[in-house]
Amino acid sequence: MRKQMFISLFVVFFLFLLSFIFAFFSNQNRKKNKKPLLVKFNSSKVIYFTNKLPISDALGKKIDNKDVESGIQGYVDFFVKNPNNFSVEYDIYLTKRDIQYNQIKSEYIKFYVTNSNNVPYSGYEKHKVPSYGELLYLSDKPNSRLLYHGFLNKNSSESFKIRSWLSDSYVIADNTEEFSVDVKVRIK
């Protein structure tokens, strides 16, 4: 009886060990065969504006490609496609660019992220409009902030519209101030 219990425990342990080894090597193989995400920008991947015209969040959330005036608001339209045969985790993040003049303080720069049908993505629903300063700092990417984190199913794609503007709480200064970031996408 005791011998049968020992054999049963050994078999269970052996099966557990085999499944762990299979999962480990399967994950390593998946990482090795991971293809990069395909990202296609329908507009510039740079957001740039000056301190010319602060606007309300209600107006900022309605910015469309036709409304954007260079240096006043930011608008980026793009899609991300997963060419892999498995789901992937990914980030959309912003990296600050060097600017010529003084920089607008990050608490005055607002962002709103939707799909192509203007439905807000997770974290932007229910009137949430974070400022650049409220976005999560990415410790592995200098001068970068996380705008959106998501998952893409195998062989699928998602579209994005990123709107940005100068908050109406900003008091217009006499001197020129700027803000500029690159929009980037990476697999986690």
Strand partners, 176: none
Nearest to 53 by CA among 188, 170, 155, 180: 170
Look up the pTM and report it. Answer: 0.79
- Would you list the DSSP string of 37-50? PEEEESS-SEEEEE
Same domain, 16 and 65: no
Same domain, 23 and 94: no
Same domain, 12 and 43: no
Q: 3-state DSSP call for residue 163? A: strand
Owning domain of residue 3: 1-33
| Total domains present in the chain | 2
Q: 3-state DSSP call for residue 182? A: strand
Same domain, 110 and 137: yes
Same domain, 4 and 87: no
Along the 188 residues of the chain, how does pLDDT read in single tens digits?
677 766 766 655 665 655 656 555 554 444 457 788 999 998 889 998 888 889 999 988 988 876 666 667 788 999 999 999 999 999 999 999 987 778 999 999 999 999 999 999 998 987 789 999 999 999 999 899 999 999 999 999 999 999 999 999 999 888 889 999 999 999 98
Same domain, 47 and 103: yes
Instruction: Count the helices and strands in the chain (H runs, E runs).
Output: 2, 10
72 touches 179 (CB < 8 A): no
